[in-house]
């Protein structure tokens, strides 16, 4: 699908969120492949990398190997004046940015539920987000689109799992 120029609702994002919810079940794993997809094909072409990531999960869950098997996963957030501080689990040896110095894919909103692209920076193992248009942020989303541009990873190279902190109606209209 085409990449949206403004944050918008997404049925694909809702599907990914539902898949992530299954991780609450015991003995489950999920290989996030948000970074190796193809906008023109639902099936990723790089099957070797998909298999490698699945093998990391199997190694950790089944064989008790001490490996980093997942990319960063949303843990919690805190509103700090006009910005939001986001914390993650599965940071491995630290957070990083794939292909560049600018974090992409974060959007924030006030109580009006209108999301704006956020300026995002790394500070240790936290991401700090803000937007000039948002004076009192209450919600943040990452990778929330049909075809998101997102580049947060851990230093092991595994991508952050898309997420949202709100429970607003997020279906495409």
Region label for 27, one of left (φ > 0), alpha (ψ between -120 and 50) or beta (otherwise): left
pLDDT tens over the chain, length 173 residues: 788 888 999 999 999 999 999 999 999 999 999 999 877 887 888 999 999 999 999 999 999 999 999 999 999 999 999 999 999 999 999 999 998 789 999 999 999 999 999 999 999 999 999 999 999 999 999 999 999 999 999 999 999 999 999 999 888 76
CA distance 88 to 65: 22
Q: Which residues pair with 128 in a beta bridge?
A: 85, 121
- Pair 130, 83: CB distance under 8 Å: yes
Domain residue ranges of the chain, discontinuous segments joined by +:
11-164
């Amino acid at each position: 699908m085409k990449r949206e120029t403004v944050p918008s609702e997404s049925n694909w994002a809702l599907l990914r969120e539902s898949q992530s919810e299954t991780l609450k079940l015991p003995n489950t794993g999920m290989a996030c492949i948000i970074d190796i997809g193809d906008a023109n094909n639902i099936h990723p072409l790089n099957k070797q990398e998909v298999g490698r990531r699945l093998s990391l999960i199997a190694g950790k869950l089944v064989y008790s190997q001490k490996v980093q098997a997942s990319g960063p996963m949303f843990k919690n957030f805190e509103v700090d004046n006009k910005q939001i501080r986001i914390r993650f689990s599965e940071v491995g040896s630290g957070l990083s940015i794939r292909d560049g110095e600018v974090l992409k894919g974060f959007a924030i909103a006030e109580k009006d539920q209108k999301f704006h692209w956020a300026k995002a920076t790394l500070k240790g193992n936290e991401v700090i987000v803000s937007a000039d248009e948002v004076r009192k942020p209450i919600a943040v989303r990452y990778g929330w689109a049909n075809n998101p541009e997102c580049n947060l990873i851990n230093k092991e190279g595994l991508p952050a799992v898309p997420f949202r902190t709100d429970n607003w109606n997020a279906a495409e209209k």
